[in-house]
Amino acid sequence: MSLFCLVHGSTQDPSGWDLLVPQLKKLGHDTVLVDLPVDQPEASACVYADYIADSINTDSNKPDGVIVVAHSASGLFLPLVPAKRPVARIVFLAAVVPQIGKSLLDQVRSEPDMMNPDWRGKNPIEDDRIAMEFLFHDCTPEVARWAMTTRRLLMAHQVMLEIFPLDQWPSVPCSSVVCTGDRTIQPEWSRRVARERLGVEPIELDAGHCPHVSCPGLLAQALDAIPVS
């Protein structure tokens, strides 16, 4: 079984994975939660990738290796991890997929189908209605109330402005989980870049932007089914 390294996005803290962790454990997997810094807005993507790599227990002897799962904006750091620490696979979960030669700002400007235009400029940390509409709309009321307590804003300003710091894609296998009800990163864009940029067929879930919150059992099954070789 595998060790899943779970990397939160820009609107939740590590506790946002708390419903997924026991579901993965039921399937025999171990997990490690990354706690990305929120006080380093000028840090590069490489700095955040260092935090991810350093969070992985180097003594892990899981037979299937380490699978790094990055949610949402943390997809910007994900391709940098394999150069810092050997991993078996990287998984983009409802995530931004960076493009070689461009910054995130460049991508948003040149790919209008990337982000839901109604999501741009919104702050789900300060406004509960925004959080419910775009992040937790497919959750039960009880789960949504809990999910509100996991909110935390990660403002990686430098990462949004810098050119993606790789000149070639890492050779490690990758997967893309696309959420058909995603109201932030548009599903059709995610499908397209999975095929064109990653060279993989996307795994689709009937869920919103945070499937680890709204349907953790379903997501755990999808992650469990991903090959690691």
Neighbours of 7 (CB within 10 A): 31
Asked if residue 97 lies in contact with residue 75, where contact means CB atoms within 8 angstroms, the answer is yes
Greatest pairwise CA separation for the chain in angstroms: 45
Q: What is the mean pLDDT of the chain?
A: 95
**Domain total of the chain:** 1
Percentages helix, strand, coil for the chain (3-state, rounded to 5) are 40, 15, 50
Report the predicted TM-score, pTM, of the whole model to 2 decimal places.
Answer: 0.96
Q: Region 94-122: what's the mean pLDDT?
A: 95
CATH number for position 74: 3.40.50.1820
Which residue has 């990163």 as its token pair? 185
pLDDT score, position 64: 64
Rounded Cα–Cα distance for residues 181 and 210 (Å): 10
Rounded Cα–Cα distance for residues 87 and 81 (Å): 8
Pairing state between β 89-93 and 174-179: parallel
The one-letter amino acid code at 130 reads I
| Domain span including residue 96 | 3-225
Confidence of residue 61 (pLDDT cuts 50, 70, 90): low
Q: Region 150-155: what's the mean pLDDT?
A: 95
Question: Going by C-beta distance under 8 Å and a sequence separation of 6 or more, which residues neighbour residue 29?
Answer: 1, 2, 3, 4, 223, 224
